[in-house]
Chain A
Amino acid sequence: RKEVEQDPGPFNVPEGATVAFNCTYSNSASQSFFWYRQDCRKEPKLLMSVYSSGNEDGRFTAQLNRASQYISLLIRDSKLSDSATYLCVVNPLGTTDSWGKLQFGAGTQVVVTP
């Protein structure tokens, strides 16, 4: 089983619509979770950290389900500028498998259309 798995998409989303997607992770002892966004051939940029209680940052809402080992991201009122690849990132800090070693999913591509 892959460490972090994501639906590659693409998710084609009309402007103004809502889109949501998940990722799953394999290491149940993982402690820190993030969503990064990556534009074509650019570096990953932190979108938001994901907390157990769920958190919201503007139009973006992230949820963590530890029991089922999945993380979700919801984007409301999609903008054209939201078109990107969204990377689910897990840091299994606290296990024997890590010291700051981020584990990346392969990304979910989102395409927002006019």
Chain B
Amino acid sequence: EPEVTQTPSHQVTQMGQEVILRCVPISNHLYFYWYRQILGQKVEFLVSFYNNEISEKSEIFDDQFSVERPDGSNFTLKIRSTKLEDSAMYFCASSGLAGGTDTQYFGPGTRLTVL
């Protein structure tokens, strides 16, 4: 069964450092998303991406965040200068059709710890 994969599973970084979280969406999917979940809180939408551009982003997704699809398979989330409050689980998701008409499948997540 096709699945979304994410690397690394756990990233520890110092405050102010840049991190790149990587995702490989399901191969025939066209829509990609990042969500985050702070420990003990609900899953929150960050950004959606289609046709090599951002479709929608939340208030959380400020100038410190960026996304990229550098090749035909990877989808990355970059945080330029990490803050303590960026510590969370980051989930990548993909769907074959626009998110409201098709199921979003989630990767296993990257746990980001900012010290």
Contact = CB atoms under 8 A, between A and B. Distances in A.
A10 interface: no
A36 to B, nearest CB: 8
Contacts of A94: 100
Contact of A34 (B89, B103, B107, B109): B103
Top 3 closest A-B pairs, CB basis?
Answer: A100-B99, A93-B100, A104-B43
14 contacts: A32-B100, A32-B101, A41-B111, A43-B106, A44-B43, A45-B106, A46-B105, A98-B56, A98-B99, A99-B98, A99-B100, A100-B48, A100-B98, A102-B104
A37 to B, nearest CB: 11
A99 B103 contact: no
Nearest to B103: A46
Interface residues of B, number: 27
Contacts, number: 68
Contacts of A31: 100
Interface of B is mostly: strand
A100 B43 contact: no
A52 B104 CA distance: 20
B51 to A, nearest CB: 12
B41 interface: yes
Interface centre among A91, A100, A103 (most CB of B within 10 A): A100
B87 interface: no
Contacts of B43: 44, 87, 102, 104
A79 B89 CA distance: 28
Nearest to B100: A93
B42 A100 contact: no
A42 B109 contact: yes
A100 B50 CA distance: 11
Given A101-B48, A101-B56, A106 B100 contact: no
B109 A100 contact: no
B91 A102 contact: no
Interface centre among A45, A93, A101 (most CB of B within 10 A): A101
B81 to A, nearest CB: 25
A107 B42 contact: yes
